[in-house]
């Protein structure tokens, strides 16, 4: 009889750990505003996650063109994570983006592997040649229970930024 109980407990354990892990859709919508200027340069944009105590945890994206010398202009990102990274910047890079709405989907496994339960802040920093720079922050808690949506509005180099975290239970 003891063997039967052990098997039942083992099967429940396997089902909850293998098939019960929640997946999180980690989506960032970034609006880059359009400027009326004769000399427009698309902004360099970096995103990263820090603890509430400002300890950098993970660099999540970097949009820039081939001119690496300007990466230092994304000042907070450079000081927190950029200067310690080397090309290809951990596979987080992409080309600069033109004005409009852009969607960034972050890897669930990468985020889940780096974050322990706690309070975090997502940073979004933009710097533009012959323009300005701007840093926005979105605080969030990890792990999420169901879903989380938060937006901030930029004033110059960034428009509306929305972070959406949606927990999706894996199906058997």
Please give the pLDDT value at position 103. Answer: 92
Can you give the pLDDT at residue 59?
A: 87
In this structure, are residues 169 and 20 in contact, taking their beta carbons and an 8 Å threshold? yes
Q: Which two tokens stand for residue 4?
A: 């039967």
The domain locations on the chain are 22-169
Q: What is the mean pLDDT of the chain?
A: 79
CA distances from 94 to 15, 41, 76, 89, 98 (A): 38, 16, 19, 10, 12
Q: What's the CA gap between 50 and 138, in Å, rounded?
A: 10
**What pLDDT shows up at residue 55?**
93
- Write down the pLDDT at residue 93: 61
Mean pLDDT per 10-residue segment, the chain (172 residues):
34 31 82 87 91 91 81 86 67 70 83 89 92 94 90 96 82 40
The candidate with the shortest Cα–Cα distance to 41, out of 12, 20, 65, 59, is: 65
Q: What topology does CATH give the domain 22-169? A: Immunoglobulin-like (2.60.40)
Global model pTM greater than 0.95: no
Query: Which ranges of 1-80 would DSSP assign to H, the alpha helix?
Result: 2-18, 75-80
């Amino acid at each position: 009889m003891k063997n039967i109980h052990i098997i039942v407990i083992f099967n429940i354990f396997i089902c909850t750990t293998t098939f019960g892990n929640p997946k999180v859709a980690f989506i960032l919508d970034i609006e880059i505003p359009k400027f009326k200027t004769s000399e427009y340069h698309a902004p360099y944009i970096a995103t990263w996650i820090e603890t509430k105590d400002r300890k950098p945890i993970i660099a999540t994206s970097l949009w820039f063109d081939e001119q690496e010398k300007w990466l230092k202009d994304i000042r907070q990102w450079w000081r927190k994570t950029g200067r310690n990274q080397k090309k290809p910047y951990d596979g987080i890079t992409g080309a600069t983006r033109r004005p409009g709405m852009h969607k960034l989907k972050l890897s669930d496994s990468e985020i889940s592997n780096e974050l322990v339960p706690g309070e975090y802040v997502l940073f979004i920093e933009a710097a533009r040649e012959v323009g300005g720079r701007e840093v926005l922050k979105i605080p969030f808690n990890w792990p999420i229970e169901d879903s989380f949506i938060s937006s901030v509005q930029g004033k110059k180099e960034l428009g509306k930024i929305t972070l959406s975290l949606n927990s999706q239970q894996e199906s058997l």
